[in-house]
Structures are given as C-alpha cells and as structure tokens.
Structure 1
C-alpha cells in the first residue's frame, strides 16, 4: 500500500507542479490502484508514472471545483483506449453524475467498460472483505468531502514449522485453519487456529481530505490514521486569507494531525505563490514545529504506508 502524488498544486497548475490528484497503489492487496481527485492533465501525469489506467479500479472525487475534477472526462475516455476493460466506479458529491453524463455525451466519448457513478452524502460509501471507505462533509465554499480508507485486520501467518511437526502439509487444512476452523488429525489431535496462527496484522488507515477550513470532521476522519493527507494552501501568516477562501494553513494542518493523534502528516495543495523548495520548506518548518512527523507531498514520489503500531 503506497501513495503516489500526481498533482500537489492548488487552483492552477504551474511549471513545477500539477493540480490535485493522488493515487493509492494497492498492487499487493488488490492488483489495482485508486485515485483521489483528478485535476486537469492527471492522465498526462499517469503516463509519466508507473501506473496503468487499465489497473484503475476506483476514483474518489472530494468536490466539484475544477482543479480537482477537470481531468476526469479525458481520463475515463483514455482508459477505454488503453486496454481498460474491468469495471470502474467513480464516487463523489451530488452533481458528479450530471457533470460526467453531460461532458461524455456532448463530447461523444465512448466508454465500453462498466462505469458506475455513485453520488454520496458521506457515511460508509464502500466496504468489502478488505477495506472500508468512509466520508464526511468538510467546510469549504461548496460541498467538499474527506475520505478515510481503513484496511481491515488480516489474520496472522501460519506457523509452518509447527504444522509440519504435526505432519500437516499445504492444502485444504491450511485453508480451514486460516478461515477460523479447527481440524482433527488422524490420531485424534485437535489443532485450533489460535494454536498455529500468529498475531493478526493490524490494518492501516489513510485519510485523504478535500479542501477545507479547520472543522471537527477533519479530526474525526483522521483519528489514529497511519497517514493524513491534508491541504496546506498557505503559511499561517495568511490565516485570514485562508479562512476567507475556505482553506487551511500548514499550522492548522499540523494542529489537526496532533488533535487526531495521526501518525504521519503529508502536506499538499500548495498555493502557486510558493514556487520553489525553499518557499515550500517554510510550510514544512511551520508544521513540524507542532507535528514533527510531517513531510511535503512530492509529485511522482512513492510514499509507502507502513504499519506503525
């Protein structure tokens, strides 16, 4: 499980950075990746990365401002032309379906794969045996949502030497033990799952927020997260501007991470006024004064999401 940032700028692209999009690479867990937001030219950024549109499984849109959305129709059409045949689901606020229906119809874009568009008002929007995705409304000029992705706990590894000592070879009995069933050997010995399974592997939590002012939903979504991706549009010296435009400062992002007891904070969605690493470093320094385990999102940098106990 890894994050790959495809765009880290706010509002408009610059020569240094594209507008917002981040991929959650789930190649080990699902042989696919998920996309959070899809600003203009996201498909170009994907071409410059190791990602393949044919492996894209889900897209989560935080809100309907153009810097988070305008790349979506083109990306969906290109996926059709690049071997994408598996179903794809787009989740987003109310209005996302009308936007896609209209742009795809008027541009006569052809999509041969199954495309499902799910509008939501928050809550649990997806769950299967491996993951839960929850969403809550944030505080922005239009409806903007944050997403909390929770990987479900996985069973521990089998103690292979112990199983071999009982004469148990790989096969159906392994499957029964992993599914929680006890097994009986020919000599009458009962082997229980808890006898041969290690400690469960704790699932990881990733919180990816849309644009927002500080609000209670930020802390709720980020509670105990292994990684929190939070906008830091401005330095705190511009806190009044941030409030006026419904954004957050680096200080406010750090406060949220601290209040939520998150384990790592990644800053993104930088104002185009911060053009170079030295200026971005001021945002980082400001946040690290409050929350030391903070880093800046860098485009095309792969960020592993580690199991931090």
Structure 2
C-alpha cells in the first residue's frame, strides 16, 4: 500500500455548526475508499472536499444518530449514480437491526447489494494489503474504535549487490523482490535474503470514535503513526465528559502519550469550541509532547511510509 490519506468530513460533536459538520472521516487506502462514520451531510462534504463516492466499506463506531444518519441519503445517491457492486457496512452489535432499517427506508429498493456485518472487540477485517481491527471502547452504548494496520512491507532491494552477484536485470530482480529464489546460468542460487533487507513495519492509524479514555484504546494505539481521538470537552468540562462518556483534550493527549503514538489529531468538538479550539490545543500540548493539532472540516492528511 503506497497511499494512506485521511479527509475529515465532519469534526463537530452532537450537532452541526456553521463551520463543522457531523462525524465523518474518509480514508483512501490505495484503491480503496473507506468511511469511518457517516453523519448527516457527509455526502455533501465528500463533494466539497473531492473524495469521490466510490466507497468500498463504511465502519461505524456506534449508533448515536450524529454518527450514522448520513448513510441513508448516501446509499440513495449511490443508487441514482448506477452503482451495481456491493457496499460493505460494519459496526458493533445492533448494526444489523439499525442499518437494515436505514438501508430499507423509503419506497424504492436499492439496485445494488448492501452487506451488513457486526463486529465485536478483537474482530479483524482483512483487505488488500492491510486490515481493520475493531477495539471495544467506553461510551454510553456499545461502541468501537478502529485500527487500520498496513501489512509489513518488504525490505529494500539492494540493486548493486544483486548485480555484483551476477543477477541479470529484469524478471529475476522481480522474483527476488517477491521472495522467490533465482538460479543463475552457472547454477548459483541467489536467495531473497541475499539482496533484500529486513522487512519494514507498515503504517498504523487509530480512530477512537466516541469514548472515555480507556486501557483498550491505549493498548491498541501503541506506536501508532496517527491517533485520531475525540476531544469533546476541555478541562473545565470534566464532569460533563464523565457524565456523557466522552473525553477532554487533555485525556485524549494522555492516551497518545501512554501509547507512544507518533502523532495526535483531536476531533469531535463541542460547539463551545467550534470557532476557537485554542484551549483544547493548549491543554493537549501540556500532556503530550508529540505533534498535535485540532482537526477542521476538510483537513487532509497523508501518512508517509515508514523507513
């Protein structure tokens, strides 16, 4: 997988504002386009920010209305565009009941298949070159975080060493890079480990969904390239955060610090912080010394390959 790009479609908590839409995150993973949550208005944001509509799968963190109601209109739009191949929908238990209602709302049946899957903590969805793992988190209802983990990447191919060993350029180079041994004209066998370095770790993206800070998320976020964590409230709203099972910016930053995450992006902001999230950013930076920023609608981030 070469491309891993995030586009924040909505960064507001509970209700849309003039500047922020409801929860939605588009992730381009090479040829795949994934959505993580699909709040009301997400499809308009996809048009606005140019993500395209060729969505392969939607992963719902939970089924509070602000995180999933946008799927109703989005599926209808796909139908009007002539979609024929299936859309995969994933979410925690109640997904089959809730999403079945959403899919079949209205008079006209969809002209393409919609396949609904329920996930629990630890379940893994395998896709080409990467996986998406469900992680149980602490919210008012059954909720999941998701870990998108790229497969381990092959080591670097040493062209000069291959030439020195007498490997002819062309198909033989390709075989060695794929892990296949090559026999030379003189009968010598060159093995992949002779010319290919050690495997390199893939990238790791963690998306918290709505949650209190919890041990399961810290564990899942170990050494993540990026942790996208909700930060609905500030320090002076701590009681409200506990009551509603959300996190403050400081708590999100503590999760990132304890997990050793390489980067933190805060999202899912209360309308109190709609236009000026400075307080959230300051409090997070007091707790976590790595790169941290507050997401805004339309923010696009590409995660570079690990060396």
TM-score (norm 2): 0.92
**SS in structure 1 of the partner of residue 194 of structure 2:** helix
Q: Structure 1: where are the runs of 5+ without partners? A: none
Displacement after TM superposition at 1:181 (Å): 2.1
Q: Is the 8 A contact 1:53 1:84 kept in 2?
A: no
- Distance in 1 separating the partners of 2:182 and 2:16: 60
Counterpart-to-counterpart distance in 1, 2:103 and 2:301: 33
| Structure 2: distance between partners of 1:201 and 1:169 | 24
User: Take 2:33 and 2:156, find their aligned partners in 1: how far apart are those partners?
Assistant: 25
Are 2:61 and 2:145, in contact at CA under 8 Å, matched by a contact in 1?
A: yes
Separation in 1 of the partners of 2:189 and 2:252?
53
State the match for 1:89 in structure 2.
88
For 2:279 and 2:14, how far apart are their aligned partners in 1?
A: 20
Aligned pairs (5 A) from 1:182-193: 182-193=181-192
**In the alignment, is the contact (CA less than 8 A) between 1:77 and 1:109 conserved in 2?**
no
Question: Partners of 2:197 and 2:111 in 1: how far apart?
Answer: 45
How many residues matched? Answer: 302
Cα distance in 1 between the residues matched to 2:148 and 2:167: 40
What's the CA shift string for 1:178-236, capped at 9, x where partnerless? 33221111112221111222443320111001111122112122111110010000101
Within 5 Å, give how 1:46-125 maps onto structure 2.
46-54=46-54, 56-125=55-124
1:10 matched to 2:9: no
The answer to which of 228-237 and 298-307 deviates more is 298-307
Report the Cα offset of residue 94 of structure 1: 1.5
Residue aligning to 1:254: 253
In structure 1, distance between residues paired with 2:221 and 2:57: 21
Contact conserved, 1:93 with 1:120, CA < 8 A, in 2? Answer: yes
1:162 offset after TM fit, Å?
Answer: 4.4
Matches of 2:105 and 2:148 in 1, distance apart?
34
CA deviations 1:102-140 (Å, max 9, x no partner) are 233231344333321101222123124511221122111
2:62–2:141 contact (8 Å) kept in structure 1: yes
User: Retained in 1: the 8 A contact 2:75–2:103?
Assistant: no
Give the alignment's TM-score, normalised by structure 1: 0.92
Residue 141 of structure 1: CA displacement? 0.9
Runs of 4+ in 1 over 6 A off after TM superposition: none
Which whole-Å CA distance do the structure 1 matches of 2:225 and 2:111 have between them?
A: 37
Partner of 1:33: 33
- How far apart, CA to CA, are the structure 2 residues paired with 1:15 and 1:248? 23
Distance in 2 of aligned mates of 1:106 and 1:164: 63
The more displaced of 207-216 and 299-308 is 299-308
Q: Give me the whole-angstrom Cα distance separating, in 2, the residues matched to 1:214 and 1:160.
A: 47
Which residue does the alignment assign to 1:228? 227
